[in-house]
Amino acid sequence: DGGITQSPKYLFRKEGQNVTLSCEQNLNHDAMYWYRQDPGQGLRLIYYSQIVNDFQKGDIAEGYSVSREKKESFPLTVTSAQKNPTAFYLCASSADRVQPQHFGDGTRLSIL
Partner 1 sequence: QKEVEQNSGPLSVPEGAIASLNCTYSDRGSQSFFWYRQYSGKSPELIMFIYSNGDKEDGRFTAQLNKASQYVSLLIRDSQPSDSATYLCEADNQGGKLIFGQGTELSVKP
Of 50 and 77, the one with the shorter C-beta distance to partner 1 is 50
Binding site for partner 1 (CB under 8 A): 33, 35, 41-43, 45, 48, 50, 56, 58, 90, 94, 97-106
Shortest Å, Cβ 71 to partner 1? 18
Of 20 and 99, the one with the shorter C-beta distance to partner 1 is 99
**Contact (Cβ atoms closer than 8 angstroms) between residue 107 and residue 7:** yes
Shortest Å, Cβ 90 to partner 1? 6
Of 16 and 100, the one with the shorter C-beta distance to partner 1 is 100
Shortest Å, Cβ 80 to partner 1? 27
